[in-house]
Amino acid sequence: ISPDRPDFTNGPDVMAAGRFQLETSGAWQRDRADGVTTRLRSTPTLLRLGVGHALELRLETEGALRQSNPDASGRGDIALGAKWRMQEGDEVRPGMGWLLEVQTPTGSGAYKGHGLRPALDFLVQWQLPAGWSLGTMAGVFVGRNPADQRYTAALASASLGIPVSDKLHAFAEVAGQQLASRRNGGNVVTLGTGLAWQVTDDAQLDTAVFRGLNHDTPDWAWTAGLSLRF
């Protein structure tokens, strides 16, 4: 099993044809600004289906969301996508792939977006000596600001995979989850670390914590998840 969680950086691996994978979690976020502490709970979920030797289809959502100060609740939008592995990695060359996703206005309450918002990411992963790995992701996406104006932003991240044992792996990551002007939400930059435990060949448990590195990023975020392959 090779989930695209718990770090922000997605890898180029795809599901084998006919295989299905569920990656779900609980996520908690805390931010303090101008003397007010805001908390957000969500249930991020990703479904992946292999449809060819190097192609998978994806459905992703933030799930149910509930926020305090100010109070709000609803469902997150659904993103439809596809990942194509253009090169399989080995000890000599990196794995590479493309991820195309489109956010759709399917959510509810304060979390329903406006219009279709596409994103395109380039994924690279190197296998390093002694079981270490390095994954990078760079991309562009279209969003909408509070004035409902369309804007284009970038993202970039790097995640170092660290073997702890045969079944337990850690990661350390720096991620520019959004690189945009202040009127469009500013730069959202995090430093993250976490653990993933491969329970069986088809099941993984994980947890991760993220620290915001600037004013436009939530102070802290934490997640705990489960991935199952069928």
Quickly list H helices, the chain: none
Q: With residue 228 as reference, give the H or E element that holds it.
A: strand 220-229
- How far apart are the C-alpha atoms of 68 and 74, rounded to whole Å? 12
**Which tokens is 164 given?**
């702890």
Judged by DSSP in three states, 129 sits in helix
Which residue's structure tokens are 């002694």?
A: 130
* Among the listed residues 93, 21, 12, the one whose alpha carbon sits nearest the alpha carbon of residue 54: 12
pLDDT for the residue 35: 87
Report the half-sphere exposure of 135 (CA within 13 A, side-chain side).
Answer: 22
pLDDT for the residue 176: 98
**Which tokens is 78 given?**
């659904």
Residues of the chain with pLDDT below 50 are none
**Which tokens is 42 given?**
């969500």
**Which tokens is 150 given?**
């369309």
Tens digit of each residue's pLDDT (9 = 90 or more) over 63-95: 999 999 999 999 999 999 999 999 999 889 999
pLDDT for the residue 158: 98
pTM of the model: 0.94
- How far apart are the C-alpha atoms of 118 and 201, rounded to whole Å? 33
The mean of the pLDDT values for the chain is 96
pLDDT for the residue 227: 98
pLDDT for the residue 165: 96
